[in-house]
Amino acid sequence: MSAIEVIEPATAEVMESIPRAGAEEVDAAVAAAKAAFPAWRAVDPADRAAIMRSLADELERRSEDLSRLEARNAGKPIGDARGEIGMVVETYRYYSAAPERLLGQTIPVAGGVDMTFREPLGVVGLIVPWNFPLVIASWKCAPALAAGNTIVLKPAELTPLTALELEKIALDAGLPEGVLNVVAGPGSVCGKRLVEHPDVAKIAFTGSTEVGRGIAEGAAGTIKRVTLELGGKSANVVFADADLAAAAAAAPSAVFGNSGQDCCARSRILVEREAMDDFMTELEKAVRAMKVGDPLDEDTAMGPLISADQLETVGSFVPDDAPVAFRGEAPEGPGYWFPPTVLAPMTNDDRAAREEIFGPVACVIPFSGEEEAIRLANDTIYGLSGSVWTENGARAIRVVRALDTGVLSVNSNSSVRVSTPFGGFKQSGVGRELGPDALDHYTDVKNVYFAT
Ligand code: NAD
């Protein structure tokens, strides 16, 4: 095993060095998960629920340490990291209610009784990105465990630290050995092996659309079940009849939150033409007020980008002749800093409006009327999230129904809740996480006819 040098993005210095897993370690983890599966699926539902609650309690007890570790490793503001670890705890608590509620059906048939069972799949491979490391892992681990599966979790190489803590915490909380295994290594080796492994029944993946496409192909070889949570280029549609001050005040965090490294980033701000001037005046105030700096400073609203590579990629979307309307502040190096940047006016055909930037760059695109707003918002290969701002309730309903996207909010930019389904249309993915829907993706339905 060689080493992974884990970098702290705010300083560009090595934070920790950990062993780099390869295909052999993946095989060992899958074997451990396979061996643990029969006993874990057989744990009485109430006992499995109790173990999951104990895991939530243990994570809560360790939440400040985990928040600081995540803030440093992912370069995110400490307040955001605390919110994420809070959601991790909440997610295990929410799904701890599931083992006792995985209900089947009885179906009227001739000559007997027909009933269905929701059976666990077996060993599930969970592959997660670096932008929301532990929280996205929890969206997968919690329903998978609740349904009686065992797990091999592969965190991103850039941010493996909280997942490695989770593996230890799970044992402390009473999860049997082998139920939750973590392998920290490269996607091209460890992720690929998980996808192709004959003993892995399902892959739940969050990451880029490009890698997701390869995973769907790789999983076809063994007909694995696949959930894909992929990229986005979401529209924040602001009509002239909206509360413009509220829409403008909320827009920066919806695209610059997590330094724009958010699959739900509303990176295309569509503004009705007659409201452009007023909206831009308010937006500029809000962007300039964002404090960019040390993730561990309690007042910080935005930290650095994750890596030098990401800094270079994001910079390529703002060439010297880009129409920069205004920018916020950013510290000088060391660290991977990029200021929140607003490009305007843009068209939906510009590269920055078409590709997922995954950095703090917003495009403001003017439109005229409802029809054009819908056409522009839908003119993308993605369909993950989005917002509609208007004081006209009927219009809000018309527009959200017309948008080809999985997660929408009206007069708000919030996308994700533990108790509601999350996932994308079009090339933003397949399947749903969170809420009641996630359990469908970690079970198969078995139908049994019993002749009487
Ligand atoms: P990525 O696709 O490069 O990597 C994601 C994970 O896949 C990592 O763990 C990586 O090691 C692994 N991986 C890479 N190559 C692989 C391969 N060939 N086989 C198997 N696994 C492989 O994505 P990223 O750069 O870590 O994250 C950013 C992307 O994730 C963005 O596109 C973003 O939109 C997306 N994302 C989506 C959601 C969502 O819920 N829809 C949430 C967060 C991030």
Q: 2-61: per-residue pLDDT in tens? A: 999 999 999 999 999 999 999 999 999 999 999 999 999 999 999 999 999 999 999 999
Nearest to 375 by CA among 356, 347, 350: 347
Residue 141 has pLDDT above 90, yes or no: yes
The answer to whether the CB of 122 is under 6 A from ligand 1 is no
Cα 311 from Cα 68, distance rounded (Å): 23
> From edge to edge, which strands make up the β-sheet containing 443-451?
106-107, 112-120, 443-451
- Please tell me the residue having the least CA distance from ligand 1 atom 39: 229
- Please tell me the residue having the least CA distance from ligand 1 atom 43: 263
Interval 18-28: pLDDT, tens: 999 999 999 99
- Please tell me the residue having the least CA distance from ligand 1 atom 1: 207
pLDDT number for residue 253: 97
What single-letter amino acid sits at 277? D
pLDDT number for residue 407: 98
Residues above pLDDT 70, as percent of the chain:
100
Residue 1 has pLDDT above 80, yes or no: no
Give 228 Cα–ligand 1 centroid separation in angstroms.
10
Q: Which of 87, 138, 190, 208 to mutate to test the pocket of ligand 1 (most atoms within 8 A of CB)?
A: 208
Q: What is the mean pLDDT of the chain?
A: 98
Residue 149 has pLDDT above 90, yes or no: yes
Give 208 Cα–ligand 1 centroid separation in angstroms.
4
pLDDT number for residue 333: 83
Q: Which of 20, 76, 127 to mutate to test the pocket of ligand 1 (most atoms within 8 A of CB)?
A: 127
Contact between residue 195 and residue 219 where contact means Cβ atoms under 8 Å apart: yes
Residue whose tokens read 């492994």: 197
pLDDT number for residue 239: 98
pLDDT average, residue stretch 203-213: 97
Nearest to 66 by CA among 159, 154, 143: 159
Q: How many helices (H) and strands (E) does the chain have?
A: 14, 18
Residue whose tokens read 């129409």: 323
Residue 72 has pLDDT above 80, yes or no: yes
Residue 270 has pLDDT above 80, yes or no: yes
**pTM given for the model:** 0.98
Residues above pLDDT 90, as percent of the chain:
99
pLDDT average, residue stretch 358-379: 98
Cα 227 from Cα 150, distance rounded (Å): 16
Residue 229 falls in the annotated catalytic set: yes
Contact between residue 387 and residue 408 where contact means Cβ atoms under 8 Å apart: yes
pLDDT average, residue stretch 297-305: 98
pLDDT number for residue 91: 98
pLDDT number for residue 206: 98
pLDDT number for residue 188: 98
Give 76 Cα–ligand 1 centroid separation in angstroms.
18
